[in-house]
Amino acid sequence: MSTIKNVAIAGGSGLVGKPIVNALLKSGKFTLTALVRESSTSTFPSGVKVVKVDFDSVASLTEALKGQDALVSAIGNAALQGQNLLVDAALLEIALWRRDLLVDAAVAAGVSRFLPSEFGSDLDNAKAGALPVFGYKVATANYSKEIAASNPAFTYTFIRTGAFLESGLENNMLIDSQSGKPRIFDSGDQLWSAITLESVGQSVVGVLTHPEETRNRAVYVQSIATSQNKLLDIVKKLTPGKTQEPQYVSTEDVFNDSNAKLAKGDYSEGVMFGYIFVAMFGEGYGAVYETTDNERLGVTSLTESDVEAILKPIVARGN
């Protein structure tokens, strides 16, 4: 397949989008266009062309995507807003219609590679893919496969990254380094994959510079495979003299609690985060990647010492 040069990104100003934009620019290999809503006030680095579009109009999107070789979607990964829509039948229908527009516009404009907004859990894992919080992502992946099957010029890549390391540590999702009473799921020994945001950006560069090797498949990248207990050991090292009293929680209980609340129509962030915790820390959800595409895509690994360096200022701010 031909070299990818012109790249459009949707959601380029968000948590995941910013490092992707930075990595694409830093590589010097791409001409980058950011698609934003008409009402957007987002700013981008010099060298990024900003095009305002109507994300509810296939005609508007198609026009904006003409001449683009690839479309990267980083929409909706910074938070769970929007994911809450995915378990409500009426709102799910709207969300899926908008997803169809993005893919259909890419096909109509002749875009050859689509990277949907995955960047997280392994949704090919049956247990993870069945979690309600991932309904939209699974539907998007299935639609991408369906369209690619009938349009050979259109291809896709799903990037599986595991947990976001820096933000997960900052907001105490991966380990609570502040309270002295960290919540530990199950035994705390379960390994799971995590990645820095910089490496998320590099993974996109890697995919777009290896289009044939990454054609119509998922790629797996990580900065490190770690566990809550390993992180707790680092926290203890960084807080000598402070007592740490782990609070053990069953992922099965969390799963059942989220299911019960969902059945009553509760689509709150608490319910959705429950499913996220189950995907990250539960047994059998494919949270640790046994093999990765790191080497091919240029993603570097971290050591426990590197993780300690990330945690140190976070711990210092709260102690």
Domain assignment present for residue 303? The answer is yes
In a domain, 32, yes or no: yes
Predicted local confidence at residue 89, as pLDDT: 45
pLDDT of 99 reads 61
Query: So what's the pLDDT on residue 101?
Result: 82
CATH number at 79 reads 3.40.50.720
Q: Does residue 250 lie within any of the structural domains?
A: no
- Using a 10 angstrom Cβ sphere, with 0-12 exposed, 13-18 middle and 19 or more buried, the burial of residue 157 is buried
pLDDT of residue 122: 97
Domain containing residue 139 = 6-228+280-318
Reading the block at residue 18, the tokens are 């910013």
Q: Kindly state whether residue 242 falls inside one of the protein's structural domains.
A: no
**Beta strand extents in the chain (DSSP E only):** 6-10, 31-37, 48-53, 70-73, 113-115, 155-160, 163-164, 183-185, 192-195, 217-220, 224-226, 247-249
Provide the domain count of the chain. 1
Share above pLDDT 90 across residues of the chain, in percent, rounded to a whole number? 81
Quick check: is 199 in a domain? yes
Per residue in 117-143, pLDDT (tens digit) is: 999 999 999 999 999 999 888 888 999
Segment 30-83, tens digit of pLDDT:
999 999 999 989 999 999 999 999 988 899 999 999 999 999 999 873 333 333
**Is residue 243 included in any domain, yes or no?**
no
User: Is 247 inside any structural domain?
Assistant: no
Q: Give pLDDT tens digits for 301-312.
A: 999 999 999 999
The pTM (predicted TM-score) of the whole model is 0.93
Ranges of residues in the chain whose predicted pLDDT is under 70: 1, 77-99, 319
Q: Is residue 163 part of a domain?
A: yes
High-pLDDT (> 70) share of the chain, %: 92
